[in-house]
Chains A and B, each alone.
Chain A
Amino acid sequence: MLDVILMLLVLFNLFSLGSTRISASIRVVAYQGAAIGVVPLFLPGKIPGGILVTIVLVTLLVKAGILPWFLRYAQKRVNVRREEKPFVGASASILSGVAALGTAFFISSRLPIPFAVASPFIVPVALSVSLTGFFIIISRAEALSQVIGYLILENGIYLFGIALLLEQPLLVELGMLLDVFVGIFVMGITVFHISREFEHTDTSRLSGLADWLPEVKRSE
Chain B
Amino acid sequence: MAILLFLVPFAAGLAAFVIKSDRLRRRLLFSVACAHAVFSLYLCLFPSGGEDYRWLWFGLDALGRYFTAVFSLLFLCASFYAVIYLKEEKSRPREKKEEGLLFNNAPEAAFTGCLLVFLASMSLLALSRHFGLIWIAMEATTLVSAPLIYFHRQRSSLEATWKYLLICSVGIALALFGNLFLAVSASGQGPGTEISIDRLLGPGVRLDPLWLKAGFIFVLVGYGTKMGLAPMHTWLPDAHSEAPSVASALLSGALLNCAFLAILRFYQLCLANGLGPFCRELFLIFGILSMAVAAVFIIGQSDYKRLLAYSSVEHMGILCFAVAVGTAYGSMLQAANHSFLKGALFICAGNILAGFRSKKIADVRGIAHIMPWAGVLWFAGILAICGMPPFGAFLSEWIILKAAFSSGNLWLPAVYLFLLGVIFIGMTGTGIRMTFGVPSIPEGKKSFLSLLPALLLLLLSLFLGIYMPAALDGAVSGAAALLGGQG
Contacts and interface: CB of A to CB of B under 8 A. Distances in A.
Interface in B183-198: 183-185, 187-188, 191-192, 194-195
Contacts of B140: 179
User: Chain A interface secondary structure, helix, strand, loop or mixed?
Assistant: helix
B146 A172 contact: no
Interface stretch (B72-80, B129-137, B395-403, B448-456): B129-137
23 contacts: A114-B187, A134-B170, A143-B162, A153-B170, A154-B173, A157-B176, A157-B177, A175-B133, A179-B135, A179-B143, A183-B139, A183-B143, A186-B165, A187-B165, A190-B150, A190-B161, A198-B158, A206-B159, A207-B159, A211-B297, A212-B300, A212-B302, A219-B362
B143 A186 contact: yes
B481 interface: no
Nearest to B360: A216
A184 B79 CA distance: 29
A169 B184 CA distance: 15
B136 A176 contact: yes
A203 interface: yes
Contact of B173 (A46, A157, A218): A157
B169 interface: yes
Contacts of B187: 114-115, 165
A65 interface: no
Contacts of B214: 111
Q: Which 4 A-B pairs have the closest CB atoms?
A: A167-B192, A172-B132, A179-B139, A175-B136
B166 A137 contact: yes
A12 B278 CA distance: 38
B183 A168 contact: yes
Contacts of A179: 135-136, 139-140, 143
A164 interface: yes
Interface of B: 130, 132-133, 135-136, 139-140, 142-143, 146, 150, 153, 155-156, 158-163, 165-166, 169-170, 173, 176-177, 180, 183-185, 187-188, 191-192, 194-195, 208, 210-211, 214, 237-238, 241-242, 297, 300-302, 306, 360, 362
Given A167-B192, A206-B163, 12 more contacts: A134-B170, A169-B132, A186-B143, A186-B165, A197-B158, A203-B162, A206-B162, A209-B156, A209-B160, A211-B302, A212-B300, A220-B362
Range class of the A interface residue count: 35 or more
A114 B184 contact: yes
Contacts of A183: 139, 142-143, 165, 169
A114 B183 CA distance: 11
Contacts of A161: 176, 180, 183
Contacts of A208: 155-156, 159
Nearest to B159: A206
Contact of B169 (A187, A206, A209): A187
B317 to A, nearest CB: 17
A186 B188 CA distance: 38
Nearest to A203: B162
A213 B195 CA distance: 46
Nearest to A167: B192
A190 B300 contact: no
Nearest to B56: A171
